[in-house]
């Protein structure tokens, strides 16, 4: 493999160890001159599989690439750099990746500078990188989840040395701040609050691919959220494999409840979070969710199985009864809460009775949505070593039965929504029908409705008229023009120039010295009017009036107002023209 430079390869043993302490690394990234001249005029495309953690990594990579000078494209054929960001959580997630990699052989043929990089969780598995190198010579770079911050250096090295670079660290992981981001959505954002996972559920690969559980400093989380709010974001989802454990590594009492409360207080319109492990869901968290109206009453609470014995074998650390007690507690304290979940069917040796336990639990909880998966053995995890006596056929049959139970639970909620009005954050045109808009309610129901496209990014009232299991049809309650006018007013008032103009104008009204001066000017005006023109007394009164006016105009606040005046006028003109 002379064309390859292998800097590091993953090792499951290392990935499992939790000995190193996470370091906090700050500092902005620089771009090697070789990479910036290579990037000139070149386009990148990133294809992401897997969870929101990967989506957030995509945004970081996009931010880094744009820093280097690449521009984004969505057209595969015209991409000069493609990054395939993989997921390892189930086999079917992995299967898709090979097809994707094969597809870009054509780009390499047509363009000698073409670069193909493969990254993400799948690269953290032993043997995957070697397999890719052997079968796909058109790959230029392979890197792991811990190497995302080094993307620009790795690309520069590949460009300079004309080699395929492989760098996949297997270690507990650090926290890297100050990375740029090019976000995928202008209204909804993901914000990482913690990385990695220490739970080691016996079926799951994530603790190996993402490293130890480590919390981001609260100040960095709040800074990112503030910037998002200032940029007009309407929804923030706080991300972590298990958000409830936030702060345990600080040992100073900071908890997830603290983060929730502090972010809610910043005033974001909608605050969501995921994922919560049922094991350390505190009462304090429940109370904070109940207390703040901008924290969405929607909790993703993966149960995985309804059988206590299965849960024990899965290493989930709670029983069926404990889970149900938590659900009861949440529902008592947050009456309108929507609950969603993840379920694995066919964990090794799951008996028919144990599967029935999952069905009865779902019947009892009546989830608002559930992601259901057939168990997929992941090499290196404890469960993968268990001999399994359940046939694929049985697993599929159980899976289909589970879907029916889930659907009837979902429908029972959807039915109650018909005829009622809900707040919907408009995502844009519906994926299935371009003539409709779509968006999510506060409790995460997908609603399609007719309305003008400029409502994208607005929160509007929609009345539900038809229920389907996984999406609903609604109609706008307010006249779209009124919604537009309200949004216009809101945005205008948020504009920094307008804000300053209004605040200076208010200060002028309230300033003591100016109030006194205005009174003196009025008196001088009256005095002047009472004098006979051309009289000496008239001359004196005129001078008095002029000197008071001069003093008024030279006051710093009045000066400031005059300076802003023209800018405000041209901004308003620009906006009104834009509206036409
Ligand atoms: N940290 C999150 C989930 C991450 S993975 C949590 O604990 O909830 C998302 C979901 O994938 C899991 O909840 C689980 O239902 C499913 N999953 C994980 N490993 C799996 C495997 N080996 N086979 C099938 N499903 C799996
Ligand atoms: Fe995987 Fe369990 Fe960690 Fe979730 S909590 S990421 S299922 S090990
Ligand atoms: Fe997949 Fe990695 Fe996320 S395995 S689910 S992309 S953490």
271 Cβ closer than 6 Å to some ligand 1 atom:
no
Stretch 460-470: mean pLDDT, rounded? 90
* Helix/strand/coil percentages in the chain, nearest 5: 50, 20, 35
C-alpha 150 to ligand 2 mean position (Å): 26
Centre of ligand 3 to C-alpha 50, Å, is: 5
Q: How many CA atoms lie within 13 A of 336 on its CB side?
A: 12
Rounded mean pLDDT of the chain?
A: 94
Protein residue whose Cα sits closest to atom 5 of ligand 1: 89
Q: What are φ and ψ of residue 452, in 5° steps?
A: -70, 150
Q: Is 372 in the pocket of ligand 1 (CB under 6 A)?
A: no
Tokens at 205, concatenated: 């690969």
Q: Is the pLDDT of residue 375 over 70?
A: yes
Q: Compare 66 and 434 and report the one with higher pLDDT.
A: 66
Distance of alpha carbon 78 from alpha carbon 110, whole angstroms: 10
481 has pLDDT over 90: no
The CB density around residue 199, as the number of other CB atoms within 10 Å, is: 18
Per-residue pLDDT tens for 251-294? 899 999 999 999 999 999 999 999 999 998 999 999 999 999 99
In which region does residue 109 sit, left (phi positive, over 0), alpha (psi from -120 to 50) or beta (all else)?
A: alpha
Residue closest to 205 by CA, chosen among 460, 426, 4, 377: 377
Average pLDDT of the residues in 403-408 = 96
Residues 6+ apart with CB under 8 A from 547: none
Ligand located closest to 90 CA = 1
The pocket around ligand 2, CB under 6 angstroms, is made up of 197, 199-201, 204, 206-207, 241-242, 277
Q: What is the DSSP string of 383-421?
A: GGGS-----HHHHHHHHHHHHHHHHHHHHHHHHHHTT-E
Q: Which residue has the tokens 């039965």?
A: 401
Ligand 1: which residue has its CA nearest to atom 11?
Answer: 89
Q: Residue 192 is encoded by which pair of tokens?
A: 């990482």
Tell me what the mean pLDDT of segment 63-91 comes to: 97
Instruction: Give me 31's structure tokens.
Output: 């771009």
For ligand 2, atom 4, which residue shows the shortest CA distance?
Answer: 241
> Do you know the residue count of the chain?
580
- Cα 335 to middle of ligand 2, angstroms: 28
* Residue 580 predicted with pLDDT over 70: no
Local confidence band at 238 (pLDDT 50, 70, 90 cut-offs): very high
Contact (Cβ atoms closer than 8 angstroms) between residue 187 and residue 425: yes
Secondary structure letter of residue 81 according to DSSP: E
Task: Name the strands in the sheet holding 298-300, side by side, starting at the edge strand that comes first in the sequence.
Answer: 298-300, 338-345, 369-374
Which residue carries 């109940």 as its tokens?
290
Max Cα–Cα distance, the chain, nearest Å: 115
* pTM, to two decimals: 0.85
- Burial group, residue 19, by CB count within 10 angstroms (0-12, 13-18, 19+): exposed
Question: What percentage of residues in the chain have a pLDDT greater than 70?
Answer: 99
The C-alpha atoms of residue 388 and residue 295 are separated, in whole angstroms, by 42
The predicted-structure confidence for 325-369, as pLDDT tens digits, reads as follows 999 999 999 999 999 999 999 999 999 999 999 999 999 999 999
Helical residues (DSSP H) of 434-555, grouped into ranges:
480-494, 496-510, 512-530, 536-554
Nearest residue (CA) to ligand 2, atom 1: 204
Percent of the chain residues topping a pLDDT of 90:
85
CB count within 10 Å of CB 534 equals 7
Residues in contact with 511: Cβ distance below 8 Å, sequence separation at least 6, in sequence order: 555, 557
Ligand nearest to the CA of 274: 1
* CA–CA distances in Å: residue 47 to residues 405, 423, 477, 491: 34, 32, 38, 33
Q: Is the pLDDT of residue 413 over 80?
A: yes
Over residues 216-241, mean pLDDT: 97
pLDDT at 162: 95
**Residue 383, ligand 3, Cβ within 6 A:** no
Pocket test for ligand 3, best of 60, 87, 376, 379 (most atoms within 8 A of CB): 87
Residue 269: how many other CB atoms lie within 10 Å: 15
Strands 421-429 and 459-467 come out as: antiparallel
Statement: residue 452 has pLDDT above 90? no
pLDDT of residue 251: 86
Burial readout 20-46 (b: 16 or more C-beta within 10 A, e: otherwise)? eebeeeeeebebbeebbebbeebbbbb
Report H helices in 292-351: 308-314, 320-333
| Cα–Cα distance measured from residue 65 to residue 59, given in angstroms and rounded to the nearest whole number | 10
User: Who's near 20: CB < 8 A, 6+ residues apart?
Assistant: 171, 172, 212
With a 6 Å cutoff on the Cβ, whether 340 touches ligand 1 is no
Using the mean position of ligand 3's atoms as its centre, give its distance from the Cα of residue 87 in Å.
Answer: 5
What is the structure's pLDDT at 488? 81
Measured distance CA(295)–CA(483) in Å, rounded: 23
pLDDT tops 70 at residue 152: yes
Q: Residue 464's Cα: distance from chain center in Å?
A: 27
| Locus of tokens 């509007």 | 460
What is the Cα–Cα distance from 63 to 58, expressed in whole angstroms? 9
Q: Is the CB of 275 under 6 A from ligand 1?
A: yes
Residue 149, pLDDT above cutoff 70: yes
- Identify the pLDDT of residue 468: 83
Q: Give the model confidence (pLDDT) of 548-563 as tens digits.
A: 999 999 999 999 999 9
Q: Which of 52, 242, 305 to mutate to test the pocket of ligand 2 (most atoms within 8 A of CB)?
A: 242
């Amino acid at each position: 493999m002379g064309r390859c430079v292998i800097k590091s390869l993953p090792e499951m043993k290392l990935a499992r160890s939790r000995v190193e302490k996470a370091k906090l690394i700050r500092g902005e990234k620089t771009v090697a001159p070789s990479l910036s001249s290579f990037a000139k005029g070149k386009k990148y495309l990133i294809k992401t599989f897997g969870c929101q953690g990967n989506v957030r990594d995509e945004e970081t990579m996009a931010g880094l690439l744009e820093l280097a000078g690449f521009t984004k494209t969505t057209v595969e054929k015209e991409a000069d750099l493609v990054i395939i960001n993989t997921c390892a959580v189930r086999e079917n997630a992995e299967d898709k990746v090979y097809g994707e990699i094969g597809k870009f052989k054509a780009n390499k043929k047509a363009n000698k500078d073409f670069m193909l990089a493969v990254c993400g969780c799948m690269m953290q598995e032993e043997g995957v990188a070697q397999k890719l190198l052997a079968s796909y010579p058109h790959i230029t770079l392979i890197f792991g989840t811990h190497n995302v911050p080094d993307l620009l250096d790795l690309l520069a090295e590949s460009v300079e040395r004309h080699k395929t670079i492989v760098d996949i660290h297997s270690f507990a992981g650090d926290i890297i701040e100050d990375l740029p981001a090019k976000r995928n959505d202008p209204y909804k954002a993901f914000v990482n609050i913690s990385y990695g996972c220490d739970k080691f559920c016996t079926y799951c690969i994530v603790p190996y691919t993402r490293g130890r559980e480590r919390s981001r400093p609260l100040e960095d989380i709040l800074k990112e959220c503030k910037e998002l709010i200032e940029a007009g974001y309407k929804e923030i989802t706080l991300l972590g494999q298990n958000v409830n454990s936030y702060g345990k590594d600080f040992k100073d009492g900071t908890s997830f409840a603290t983060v929730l409360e502090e972010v809610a207080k910043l005033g974001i319109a909608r605050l969501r979070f995921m994922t919560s492990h049922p094991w350390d869901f505190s009462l304090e968290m429940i109370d904070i969710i109940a207390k703040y109206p901008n924290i969405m009453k929607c909790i993703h609470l993966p149960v995985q199985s309804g059988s206590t014995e299965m849960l024990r074998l899965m290493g989930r650390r709670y029983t069926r009864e404990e889970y149900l007690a938590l659900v009861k507690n949440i529902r008592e304290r947050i009456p309108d809460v929507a609950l969603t979940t993840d379920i694995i069917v066919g964990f090794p040796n799951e008996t028919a009775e144990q599967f029935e336990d999952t069905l009865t639990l779902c019947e009892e909880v009546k989830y608002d949505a559930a992601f259901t998966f057939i168990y997929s053995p992941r090499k290196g995890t404890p469960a993968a070593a268990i001999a399994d006596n359940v046939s694929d056929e049985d697993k599929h049959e159980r899976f289909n039965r589970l879907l029916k139970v889930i659907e009837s639970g979902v429908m029972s909620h959807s039915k109650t929504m018909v005829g009622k009005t809900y707040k919907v954050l408009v995502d844009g045109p519906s994926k299935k029908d371009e003539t409709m808009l779509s968006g999510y309610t506060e409790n995460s129901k997908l609603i399609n409705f007719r309305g003008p496209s400029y409502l994208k990014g607005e929160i509007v009232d929609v009345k539900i008229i038809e229920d389907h299991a996984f999406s609903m049809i609604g109609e706008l309650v307010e006249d779209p023009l009124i919604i537009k006018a309200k949004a216009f007013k809101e945005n205008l008032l948020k504009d920094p120039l307008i804000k300053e103009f209004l605040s200076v104008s208010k200060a002028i009204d309230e300033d003591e010295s100016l109030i006194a001066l205005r009174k003196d000017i009025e008196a001088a005006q009256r005095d002047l009017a009472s004098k006979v023109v051309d009289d000496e007394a008239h001359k004196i009164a005129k001078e008095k009036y002029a000197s008071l006016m001069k003093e008024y105009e030279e006051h710093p606040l009045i000066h400031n107002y005059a300076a802003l005046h023209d800018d405000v006028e041209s901004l308003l003109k620009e906006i009104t023209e834009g509206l036409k």
